[in-house]
Amino acid sequence: MSTETNGPGGTAGERTGGRPVPAAGAAPPRVLFICGSINQTTQLHEIARELPEIEAWFTPYYCDGYLERLRRLGLLGFTILGGPWRRDCLDYLNQHALPIDMDGARGPYDLVVTCSDLVVPRNVRGQPLLLVQEGMTDPEGVGFRLRKMVPWLPLWVAGTAGTGLSGLYDTFCVASPGYRELFVRKGADPRRIAVTGIPNFDDCHGYLTNDFPHRGYVLVCTSDARETWKLDNRRRFIRRAVEIAAGRPLIFKLHPNENVARATREISRHAPGSQVFTQGSAEQMVANCEVLIVQYSTLAYVGLALGKEVHAYADLEELRRLLPVQGGGAARHIASACRGLLGRPTGDARDAQDLPGALQSSPGRQVAA
């Protein structure tokens, strides 16, 4: 059971043009971080650490209206709105003693930072909103094309391929110049996109220092395609992994949203003798492997950044073009973008140079009723 942590009250002062204007003796600006999966939650936590001057609050990903009714019926368990994902998020927040405001009930806030714009709850619309790209987005499949043809459909129909297309944010912090081009091609406003890099994938060489005990294996990272109603010929995928391994040790790292019992049975049948992990740092496993095999996974970027032999469903040249900016500092750059939306000093000159457009006034947003 989650426990709600009380924090200091207060507001950030009057608003002008949708942005807080600091006043003498004013309370620190209040910022809500809308988390999701553990990867998304750790990313937003890292950003919050770079903003010691704010009053930070955190919540699992949430929704309203008919989606909330579906969530309560347990029909959204395969998404980050589902019970298991929210429980994992709350466990992390409580473990790190972070202040929790379930579903943003203590709003309004001076700034909202979210991990996805596929669902933007009504109680944060109209407030300054910063969107952070989590990682690799879905291919532009049937849902994406359907939503493009019928734009009044909810954005979540497109899956994560629709990331950045809500028009409900002020700034969208993305992983690389390649991703900026991709989101602009899909229809995102280029004036609102800042290339900042993304936490957890901005310093892949850091994963080389780890205590994962295995070395010299072929790593296979599976996906939750079936759990999210996508096609997945798992038998063919496993057999192809066995061919690539050519007798070398095989380790499978299952996606956290997978049906573990089913996936384990399939691996035992088609790749007997393989090790299967459901927990642990997948990034560290990538760092220690000789060969990485993925379906659609941001982990492909870790392998490419570390110079591994990578096999993926996606085109490898396209993945290299989209590779997240390396060198660290993504959380710091995103924190500077947050300060820009709060109307506060944004940090040193490097931040301003690395954030094209993020520290300027954003154009007006369309706010749906």
Name the residue with tokens 């347990």. 74
- Cα–Cα distance, 275 to 272 (Å, whole number): 9
Q: List 33's β-bridge partners, or say none.
A: 58, 113
Dmax (CA) of the chain: 68
Q: Where are the domains of the chain?
A: 15-202+325-354, 204-315
How would residue 9 be classed by pLDDT, with cut points 50, 70 and 90?
A: very low
User: Which residues neighbour 195 within 8 Å (Cβ) at sequence distance 6 or greater?
Assistant: 174, 175, 176, 177, 179, 180, 325, 354, 355, 356
pLDDT at position 347 is: 60
CB 312 within 8 A of CB 270: no
- Cα–Cα distance, 184 to 191 (Å, whole number): 10
pTM of the model: 0.84
Which token pair is 266?
């399939």
Q: What is the dihedral of CA 154, 160, 161, 162, to 10 degrees?
A: 30
In this structure, whether the domain defined by 204-315 belongs to CATH 3.40.50.2000 is answered with yes
Question: Which H or E run includes 95?
Answer: helix 83-95
CB 26 within 8 A of CB 13: yes
pLDDT at position 78 is: 87
Tell me the one-letter amino acid at 205.
Answer: H
CA 243 to chain centre: 32
pLDDT digits (tens, 9 = 90+) for 163-211: 999 999 999 999 999 999 999 999 999 999 999 999 999 999 999 999 9
204-315 matches 15-202+325-354 in CATH topology? yes
pLDDT digits (tens, 9 = 90+) for 19-72: 444 455 679 999 999 999 999 999 999 999 999 999 999 999 999 999 999 999
User: CA distances (Å), 231 to each of 54, 141, 153, 189, 225, in order?
Assistant: 44, 11, 22, 31, 6
Residue ranges of the alpha helices (H) in the chain? 38-49, 65-72, 83-95, 142-149, 177-186, 234-245, 260-270, 282-288, 299-305, 316-322, 330-342, 349-354
pLDDT digits (tens, 9 = 90+) for 290-310: 999 998 899 999 999 999 999
Residue by residue, DSSP assigns 207-226 as: GGS------S-EEEE---TG
Report the SS3 class of residue 100. strand
For the chain, percent helix, then strand, then coil, each to nearest 5? 40, 15, 50
- Cα–Cα distance, 172 to 327 (Å, whole number): 20
Residue 350 has pLDDT above 80, yes or no: no
Lowest mean pLDDT among 89-93, 108-112, 341-345: 341-345
Which token pair is 309?
């032999």
Report the SS3 class of residue 68. helix
Q: What CATH class is the domain 15-202+325-354?
A: alpha beta
